[in-house]
Amino acid sequence: MCKGGDSVKLCFNHLLLAFSYALDCVEKDYFKTTSYHGKRVSYICLLLGEHFALNNQQLSDLVGCAILHDNGLTEYYKQGDNTQEAEFLKIHCEVGEENIDYIPFFEDVHNVILYHHEAVDGSGPFHKMIDEIPLYAQLIHIADWIDVNYNLQDMSEKEYQNILLELHKLRNKEFSDKVVDAYLAALTYDKIIINNDQLENYLRENIHNIYQDFTDSQMLAICQLFARIIDSKSPHTRTHSIGVASKASYMALYYEYDEEMMLKLFFAGAMHDVGKLVIDRDVLEKPAQLTDSEYTYMQTHAYYSYKILSDMQLGEIVHWASYHHEKLDGSGYPFGKKAEELDFIDRLMACCDIYQALTEDRPYKDAMSHEKSIEIMRSMAVGNKIDSQIVEDMNKVFGKTS
Protein backbone atom coordinates (compact mmCIF):
# COMPACT_ATOMS: atom_id res chain seq x y z
CA MET A 1 0.00 0.00 0.00
CA CYS A 2 1.77 3.14 -1.16
CA LYS A 3 0.63 6.66 -0.38
CA GLY A 4 0.74 9.47 -2.90
CA GLY A 5 -0.58 12.91 -2.04
CA ASP A 6 -4.16 12.56 -0.84
CA SER A 7 -4.64 9.04 -2.24
CA VAL A 8 -3.41 5.46 -1.84
CA LYS A 9 -2.28 3.50 -4.89
CA LEU A 10 -3.11 -0.19 -4.84
CA CYS A 11 -4.49 -3.04 -6.92
CA PHE A 12 -7.90 -3.81 -5.45
CA ASN A 13 -8.23 -7.17 -7.21
CA HIS A 14 -4.91 -8.27 -5.72
CA LEU A 15 -6.38 -7.66 -2.25
CA LEU A 16 -9.55 -9.48 -3.26
CA LEU A 17 -7.72 -12.56 -4.53
CA ALA A 18 -6.03 -12.92 -1.15
CA PHE A 19 -9.31 -12.28 0.67
CA SER A 20 -11.07 -14.91 -1.48
CA TYR A 21 -9.45 -17.67 0.60
CA ALA A 22 -11.43 -16.49 3.64
CA LEU A 23 -14.63 -16.09 1.61
CA ASP A 24 -14.20 -19.64 0.30
CA CYS A 25 -14.02 -20.96 3.86
CA VAL A 26 -17.38 -19.31 4.62
CA GLU A 27 -18.87 -20.72 1.42
CA LYS A 28 -17.68 -24.24 2.27
CA ASP A 29 -19.36 -23.92 5.67
CA TYR A 30 -22.72 -23.02 4.10
CA PHE A 31 -22.90 -24.47 0.58
CA LYS A 32 -20.33 -27.27 1.06
CA THR A 33 -18.50 -26.11 -2.05
CA THR A 34 -14.95 -27.26 -2.75
CA SER A 35 -11.90 -25.13 -2.03
CA TYR A 36 -10.95 -22.28 -4.38
CA HIS A 37 -14.59 -21.72 -5.36
CA GLY A 38 -14.24 -17.94 -5.61
CA LYS A 39 -11.10 -18.19 -7.71
CA ARG A 40 -12.62 -20.75 -10.07
CA VAL A 41 -15.70 -18.57 -10.56
CA SER A 42 -13.36 -15.65 -11.27
CA TYR A 43 -11.33 -17.76 -13.71
CA ILE A 44 -14.44 -18.83 -15.65
CA CYS A 45 -15.72 -15.24 -15.70
CA LEU A 46 -12.35 -13.99 -16.93
CA LEU A 47 -12.45 -16.37 -19.90
CA LEU A 48 -16.08 -15.46 -20.62
CA GLY A 49 -15.30 -11.76 -20.36
CA GLU A 50 -12.44 -12.13 -22.84
CA HIS A 51 -14.86 -13.90 -25.20
CA PHE A 52 -17.12 -10.84 -25.00
CA ALA A 53 -14.07 -8.65 -25.77
CA LEU A 54 -14.27 -6.68 -22.54
CA ASN A 55 -11.44 -4.21 -22.06
CA ASN A 56 -8.95 -4.48 -19.19
CA GLN A 57 -10.88 -2.21 -16.84
CA GLN A 58 -14.13 -4.06 -17.53
CA LEU A 59 -12.41 -7.39 -16.96
CA SER A 60 -11.00 -6.04 -13.69
CA ASP A 61 -14.50 -5.09 -12.53
CA LEU A 62 -15.94 -8.43 -13.61
CA VAL A 63 -13.26 -10.37 -11.74
CA GLY A 64 -13.71 -8.16 -8.67
CA CYS A 65 -17.45 -8.83 -8.64
CA ALA A 66 -16.84 -12.54 -9.22
CA ILE A 67 -14.52 -12.77 -6.22
CA LEU A 68 -17.05 -10.90 -4.09
CA HIS A 69 -20.16 -12.59 -5.49
CA ASP A 70 -20.97 -14.32 -2.21
CA ASN A 71 -19.57 -11.73 0.19
CA GLY A 72 -23.01 -11.56 1.83
CA LEU A 73 -22.90 -15.21 2.94
CA THR A 74 -21.82 -14.33 6.47
CA GLU A 75 -25.33 -12.90 6.86
CA TYR A 76 -26.37 -16.56 7.17
CA TYR A 77 -24.98 -16.60 10.69
CA LYS A 78 -27.31 -13.78 11.70
CA GLN A 79 -30.36 -15.34 10.07
CA GLY A 80 -29.92 -18.75 11.68
CA ASP A 81 -30.35 -22.27 10.41
CA ASN A 82 -34.12 -22.04 10.01
CA THR A 83 -34.01 -19.72 7.01
CA GLN A 84 -35.27 -21.38 3.84
CA GLU A 85 -32.61 -21.62 1.13
CA ALA A 86 -34.67 -19.68 -1.42
CA GLU A 87 -35.16 -16.84 1.04
CA PHE A 88 -31.55 -16.86 2.07
CA LEU A 89 -30.41 -16.65 -1.56
CA LYS A 90 -32.33 -13.41 -1.76
CA ILE A 91 -31.04 -12.10 1.58
CA HIS A 92 -27.37 -12.78 0.88
CA CYS A 93 -27.65 -11.15 -2.56
CA GLU A 94 -29.15 -8.02 -0.97
CA VAL A 95 -26.50 -7.89 1.73
CA GLY A 96 -23.72 -8.54 -0.78
CA GLU A 97 -24.96 -5.69 -2.99
CA GLU A 98 -25.13 -3.36 0.00
CA ASN A 99 -21.63 -4.33 1.11
CA ILE A 100 -20.00 -3.30 -2.18
CA ASP A 101 -22.09 -0.17 -2.65
CA TYR A 102 -19.24 2.18 -1.79
CA ILE A 103 -16.41 0.27 -3.47
CA PRO A 104 -14.94 2.34 -6.34
CA PHE A 105 -15.10 0.07 -9.36
CA PHE A 106 -14.12 1.50 -12.75
CA GLU A 107 -17.68 1.46 -14.04
CA ASP A 108 -21.19 1.03 -12.68
CA VAL A 109 -21.62 -2.51 -11.33
CA HIS A 110 -25.08 -1.80 -9.91
CA ASN A 111 -27.17 -4.98 -9.46
CA VAL A 112 -24.37 -7.37 -10.46
CA ILE A 113 -24.14 -8.95 -6.99
CA LEU A 114 -27.85 -8.47 -6.34
CA TYR A 115 -28.93 -10.47 -9.40
CA HIS A 116 -26.18 -13.09 -9.69
CA HIS A 117 -28.65 -15.91 -8.89
CA GLU A 118 -31.32 -14.75 -11.37
CA ALA A 119 -32.58 -17.13 -14.08
CA VAL A 120 -33.35 -15.47 -17.42
CA ASP A 121 -36.90 -16.87 -17.46
CA GLY A 122 -37.82 -14.94 -14.32
CA SER A 123 -37.75 -17.90 -11.93
CA GLY A 124 -34.90 -16.57 -9.79
CA PRO A 125 -35.18 -15.08 -6.27
CA PHE A 126 -36.10 -11.61 -7.61
CA HIS A 127 -38.04 -12.86 -10.67
CA LYS A 128 -36.06 -10.69 -13.07
CA MET A 129 -36.21 -11.34 -16.81
CA ILE A 130 -33.21 -11.42 -19.11
CA ASP A 131 -33.24 -7.73 -20.07
CA GLU A 132 -33.17 -6.76 -16.37
CA ILE A 133 -30.09 -8.83 -15.49
CA PRO A 134 -26.65 -7.22 -16.09
CA LEU A 135 -24.25 -9.21 -18.26
CA TYR A 136 -21.72 -9.52 -15.42
CA ALA A 137 -24.42 -11.03 -13.18
CA GLN A 138 -25.28 -13.56 -15.90
CA LEU A 139 -21.63 -14.54 -16.31
CA ILE A 140 -21.15 -14.96 -12.56
CA HIS A 141 -24.36 -17.00 -12.37
CA ILE A 142 -23.28 -19.59 -14.96
CA ALA A 143 -19.74 -19.79 -13.51
CA ASP A 144 -21.11 -20.23 -9.98
CA TRP A 145 -23.67 -22.82 -11.08
CA ILE A 146 -21.06 -24.92 -12.87
CA ASP A 147 -18.56 -24.90 -10.02
CA VAL A 148 -21.18 -25.71 -7.39
CA ASN A 149 -22.66 -28.59 -9.39
CA TYR A 150 -19.55 -30.14 -10.90
CA ASN A 151 -16.11 -31.06 -9.59
CA LEU A 152 -13.88 -29.17 -11.99
CA GLN A 153 -10.68 -30.31 -10.29
CA ASP A 154 -11.13 -33.93 -11.34
CA MET A 155 -13.40 -34.21 -14.36
CA SER A 156 -13.44 -36.73 -17.19
CA GLU A 157 -14.31 -35.76 -20.75
CA LYS A 158 -17.58 -37.68 -20.35
CA GLU A 159 -18.50 -35.54 -17.32
CA TYR A 160 -17.60 -32.44 -19.31
CA GLN A 161 -20.02 -33.54 -22.03
CA ASN A 162 -22.70 -33.87 -19.35
CA ILE A 163 -22.20 -30.17 -18.53
CA LEU A 164 -22.74 -29.27 -22.16
CA LEU A 165 -25.89 -31.38 -22.37
CA GLU A 166 -27.27 -29.78 -19.21
CA LEU A 167 -26.49 -26.30 -20.50
CA HIS A 168 -28.43 -27.01 -23.70
CA LYS A 169 -31.43 -28.02 -21.58
CA LEU A 170 -31.14 -24.79 -19.57
CA ARG A 171 -30.99 -22.45 -22.59
CA ASN A 172 -33.40 -19.56 -22.22
CA LYS A 173 -34.50 -20.94 -18.86
CA GLU A 174 -31.57 -20.53 -16.48
CA PHE A 175 -29.09 -18.95 -18.89
CA SER A 176 -29.39 -16.85 -22.04
CA ASP A 177 -28.41 -18.10 -25.49
CA LYS A 178 -25.47 -15.71 -25.71
CA VAL A 179 -24.05 -16.77 -22.33
CA VAL A 180 -24.37 -20.49 -23.10
CA ASP A 181 -22.78 -19.95 -26.53
CA ALA A 182 -19.94 -18.00 -24.89
CA TYR A 183 -19.36 -20.82 -22.43
CA LEU A 184 -19.27 -23.43 -25.21
CA ALA A 185 -16.75 -21.35 -27.15
CA ALA A 186 -14.51 -20.20 -24.28
CA LEU A 187 -14.52 -23.10 -21.81
CA THR A 188 -13.26 -26.11 -23.73
CA TYR A 189 -12.38 -29.27 -21.82
CA ASP A 190 -8.70 -28.32 -21.77
CA LYS A 191 -9.56 -24.89 -20.33
CA ILE A 192 -11.98 -26.12 -17.68
CA ILE A 193 -9.54 -28.68 -16.23
CA ILE A 194 -7.11 -26.66 -14.15
CA ASN A 195 -5.51 -27.57 -10.84
CA ASN A 196 -5.28 -25.16 -7.93
CA ASP A 197 -1.67 -24.15 -8.51
CA GLN A 198 -2.35 -23.47 -12.19
CA LEU A 199 -5.46 -21.54 -11.21
CA GLU A 200 -3.53 -19.30 -8.81
CA ASN A 201 -0.83 -18.61 -11.36
CA TYR A 202 -3.26 -17.95 -14.20
CA LEU A 203 -5.29 -15.45 -12.21
CA ARG A 204 -2.24 -13.58 -10.92
CA GLU A 205 -0.86 -13.29 -14.44
CA ASN A 206 -4.12 -12.42 -16.19
CA ILE A 207 -6.39 -10.42 -13.89
CA HIS A 208 -4.98 -7.18 -15.28
CA ASN A 209 -3.43 -5.83 -12.09
CA ILE A 210 -4.49 -2.24 -12.55
CA TYR A 211 -3.15 -0.01 -9.82
CA GLN A 212 -5.46 2.90 -9.14
CA ASP A 213 -5.59 5.79 -6.72
CA PHE A 214 -8.00 5.43 -3.81
CA THR A 215 -8.89 8.42 -1.67
CA ASP A 216 -8.83 8.11 2.11
CA SER A 217 -12.63 7.89 2.16
CA GLN A 218 -12.56 5.11 -0.44
CA MET A 219 -9.95 3.23 1.58
CA LEU A 220 -12.15 3.54 4.64
CA ALA A 221 -15.03 2.09 2.61
CA ILE A 222 -12.84 -0.87 1.64
CA CYS A 223 -11.85 -1.37 5.29
CA GLN A 224 -15.50 -1.26 6.32
CA LEU A 225 -16.42 -3.81 3.64
CA PHE A 226 -13.85 -6.29 4.92
CA ALA A 227 -14.69 -5.62 8.59
CA ARG A 228 -18.42 -6.02 8.00
CA ILE A 229 -17.90 -9.39 6.31
CA ILE A 230 -15.57 -10.55 9.09
CA ASP A 231 -17.80 -9.45 11.97
CA SER A 232 -20.97 -10.82 10.40
CA LYS A 233 -19.78 -14.40 10.87
CA SER A 234 -20.31 -14.05 14.62
CA PRO A 235 -23.27 -12.06 15.97
CA HIS A 236 -21.44 -12.02 19.31
CA THR A 237 -18.65 -9.85 17.89
CA ARG A 238 -20.63 -7.93 15.28
CA THR A 239 -18.78 -4.63 15.78
CA HIS A 240 -15.44 -5.89 17.08
CA SER A 241 -13.25 -5.25 14.02
CA ILE A 242 -14.52 -1.73 13.43
CA GLY A 243 -14.22 -1.11 17.16
CA VAL A 244 -10.54 -2.11 17.15
CA ALA A 245 -9.97 -0.01 14.00
CA SER A 246 -11.58 3.01 15.65
CA LYS A 247 -9.60 2.58 18.88
CA ALA A 248 -6.36 2.35 16.89
CA SER A 249 -7.27 5.55 15.03
CA TYR A 250 -7.96 7.41 18.28
CA MET A 251 -4.58 6.33 19.58
CA ALA A 252 -2.93 7.45 16.34
CA LEU A 253 -4.39 10.91 16.96
CA TYR A 254 -3.03 10.88 20.51
CA TYR A 255 0.45 9.96 19.25
CA GLU A 256 0.17 12.68 16.56
CA TYR A 257 0.72 10.30 13.67
CA ASP A 258 0.05 11.62 10.16
CA GLU A 259 -3.03 10.69 8.09
CA GLU A 260 -1.22 7.91 6.23
CA MET A 261 -0.31 6.22 9.50
CA MET A 262 -3.84 6.65 10.84
CA LEU A 263 -5.21 4.96 7.74
CA LYS A 264 -2.77 2.07 8.08
CA LEU A 265 -3.77 1.55 11.71
CA PHE A 266 -7.45 1.65 10.81
CA PHE A 267 -6.83 -0.93 8.07
CA ALA A 268 -4.87 -3.16 10.48
CA GLY A 269 -7.68 -2.96 13.03
CA ALA A 270 -10.38 -3.69 10.47
CA MET A 271 -8.51 -6.75 9.18
CA HIS A 272 -6.95 -8.17 12.36
CA ASP A 273 -9.55 -10.95 12.74
CA VAL A 274 -9.90 -11.89 9.06
CA GLY A 275 -8.61 -15.36 10.02
CA LYS A 276 -11.82 -16.01 11.97
CA LEU A 277 -13.60 -16.52 8.65
CA VAL A 278 -11.60 -19.75 8.38
CA ILE A 279 -12.75 -21.08 11.78
CA ASP A 280 -15.69 -23.50 11.81
CA ARG A 281 -18.87 -21.94 13.09
CA ASP A 282 -19.44 -24.75 15.61
CA VAL A 283 -16.31 -23.64 17.46
CA LEU A 284 -16.63 -19.91 16.83
CA GLU A 285 -20.19 -19.83 18.16
CA LYS A 286 -19.97 -22.49 20.88
CA PRO A 287 -22.00 -21.24 23.86
CA ALA A 288 -20.01 -23.27 26.39
CA GLN A 289 -16.35 -23.15 27.32
CA LEU A 290 -14.06 -24.49 24.62
CA THR A 291 -12.16 -27.73 25.16
CA ASP A 292 -8.36 -27.58 25.07
CA SER A 293 -8.30 -28.84 21.49
CA GLU A 294 -11.02 -26.40 20.42
CA TYR A 295 -9.16 -23.51 22.06
CA THR A 296 -5.96 -24.49 20.25
CA TYR A 297 -7.92 -24.62 17.00
CA MET A 298 -9.48 -21.21 17.69
CA GLN A 299 -6.01 -19.76 18.18
CA THR A 300 -5.14 -20.63 14.58
CA HIS A 301 -7.27 -17.67 13.45
CA ALA A 302 -4.29 -15.39 14.15
CA TYR A 303 -2.08 -17.48 11.87
CA TYR A 304 -4.72 -17.39 9.12
CA SER A 305 -4.92 -13.62 9.49
CA TYR A 306 -1.16 -13.55 8.95
CA LYS A 307 -1.43 -15.82 5.89
CA ILE A 308 -4.24 -13.88 4.22
CA LEU A 309 -2.70 -10.47 4.89
CA SER A 310 0.73 -11.69 3.72
CA ASP A 311 -0.84 -12.69 0.41
CA MET A 312 -2.21 -9.14 0.16
CA GLN A 313 1.38 -7.85 0.35
CA LEU A 314 0.53 -5.07 2.80
CA GLY A 315 3.99 -4.66 4.28
CA GLU A 316 4.10 -3.75 7.97
CA ILE A 317 0.31 -3.86 8.23
CA VAL A 318 0.62 -7.67 8.08
CA HIS A 319 2.31 -8.03 11.46
CA TRP A 320 0.54 -5.06 13.04
CA ALA A 321 -2.77 -6.84 12.39
CA SER A 322 -1.83 -10.48 12.93
CA TYR A 323 0.36 -10.19 16.05
CA HIS A 324 -2.54 -8.94 18.19
CA HIS A 325 -2.43 -12.07 20.39
CA GLU A 326 1.33 -12.04 20.90
CA LYS A 327 2.60 -11.26 24.43
CA LEU A 328 5.78 -9.55 25.60
CA ASP A 329 6.88 -12.62 27.57
CA GLY A 330 6.58 -14.91 24.54
CA SER A 331 3.45 -16.71 25.78
CA GLY A 332 1.20 -15.43 22.99
CA TYR A 333 0.29 -16.85 19.58
CA PRO A 334 0.55 -17.68 16.72
CA PHE A 335 4.35 -17.30 16.72
CA GLY A 336 5.33 -16.86 20.38
CA LYS A 337 7.04 -13.53 19.71
CA LYS A 338 8.87 -11.83 22.58
CA ALA A 339 9.15 -8.15 23.53
CA GLU A 340 12.20 -7.46 21.38
CA GLU A 341 10.37 -8.89 18.33
CA LEU A 342 7.26 -6.72 18.77
CA ASP A 343 7.42 -3.11 17.63
CA PHE A 344 5.40 -0.30 19.19
CA ILE A 345 2.45 -0.65 16.78
CA ASP A 346 2.33 -4.44 17.31
CA ARG A 347 1.97 -3.72 21.01
CA LEU A 348 -0.57 -0.97 20.43
CA MET A 349 -2.82 -3.17 18.28
CA ALA A 350 -2.72 -5.92 20.93
CA CYS A 351 -3.86 -3.44 23.57
CA CYS A 352 -6.61 -2.06 21.33
CA ASP A 353 -7.91 -5.59 20.72
CA ILE A 354 -7.94 -6.40 24.44
CA TYR A 355 -9.61 -3.12 25.42
CA GLN A 356 -12.28 -3.51 22.72
CA ALA A 357 -13.00 -7.10 23.80
CA LEU A 358 -13.31 -6.14 27.47
CA THR A 359 -15.64 -3.21 26.80
CA GLU A 360 -18.09 -5.05 24.53
CA ASP A 361 -20.84 -7.52 25.38
CA ARG A 362 -20.15 -11.20 24.81
CA PRO A 363 -22.45 -14.22 25.41
CA TYR A 364 -20.50 -15.10 28.56
CA LYS A 365 -20.09 -11.56 29.97
CA ASP A 366 -21.45 -8.05 29.98
CA ALA A 367 -19.38 -5.15 28.71
CA MET A 368 -16.94 -3.93 31.36
CA SER A 369 -16.48 -0.33 32.33
CA HIS A 370 -13.43 1.63 31.25
CA GLU A 371 -12.09 1.54 34.81
CA LYS A 372 -12.46 -2.24 35.18
CA SER A 373 -10.92 -2.82 31.75
CA ILE A 374 -7.89 -0.70 32.55
CA GLU A 375 -7.51 -2.49 35.88
CA ILE A 376 -7.36 -5.85 34.08
CA MET A 377 -4.94 -4.51 31.49
CA ARG A 378 -2.66 -3.09 34.21
CA SER A 379 -2.52 -6.56 35.76
CA MET A 380 -1.54 -7.96 32.38
CA ALA A 381 1.17 -5.31 32.05
CA VAL A 382 2.56 -6.18 35.49
CA GLY A 383 2.74 -9.80 34.30
CA ASN A 384 4.79 -8.69 31.28
CA LYS A 385 2.01 -9.56 28.83
CA ILE A 386 1.34 -6.13 27.33
CA ASP A 387 2.99 -2.69 27.27
CA SER A 388 2.35 -0.72 30.48
CA GLN A 389 2.91 2.72 28.91
CA ILE A 390 0.34 2.03 26.18
CA VAL A 391 -2.15 0.95 28.85
CA GLU A 392 -1.68 4.27 30.65
CA ASP A 393 -1.96 6.18 27.39
CA MET A 394 -5.22 4.38 26.60
CA ASN A 395 -6.47 5.24 30.06
CA LYS A 396 -5.92 8.93 29.28
CA VAL A 397 -7.57 8.75 25.84
CA PHE A 398 -10.57 6.55 26.55
CA GLY A 399 -11.10 7.63 30.14
CA LYS A 400 -12.23 10.97 28.78
CA THR A 401 -14.87 9.41 26.51
CA SER A 402 -16.22 6.68 28.82
For 147-179, write each residue's pLDDT tens digit.
Answer: 989 888 788 999 999 999 999 999 999 999 999
How far apart, in whole angstroms, are the C-alpha atoms of residue 48 and residue 61? 13
Q: Check pLDDT > 80 for residue 81.
A: no
- CA separation (Å) from 157 to 42, 172, 184, 315, 332? 22, 25, 14, 44, 51
Residues in Cβ contact with 237 at an 8 Å cutoff, skipping those fewer than 6 apart: 231, 273, 360, 362
Q: How far is CA 381 from the centre of its chain?
A: 33
**pLDDT band, residue 248 (cuts 50/70/90):** very high
Could you tell me the strand order of the sheet in which 212-215 lies? Answer: 2-4, 7-10, 212-215
Higher pLDDT residue, 255 or 152? 255
Burial 208-218 (b: 16+ CB within 10 A, else e): beeebebebeb
Domains in the chain: ranges and CATH: 8-206 (1.10.3210.10), 215-399 (1.10.3210.10)
How far apart, in whole angstroms, are the C-alpha atoms of residue 41 and residue 110? 19
For 14-41, write each residue's pLDDT tens digit.
Answer: 788 888 888 777 766 665 556 788 889 9
**pLDDT band, residue 83 (cuts 50/70/90):** low
For 343-364, write each residue's pLDDT tens digit.
Answer: 999 999 999 999 999 999 876 6
What does the pLDDT average to over 303-331? 94
Instruction: Name the pTM for this structure.
Output: 0.83
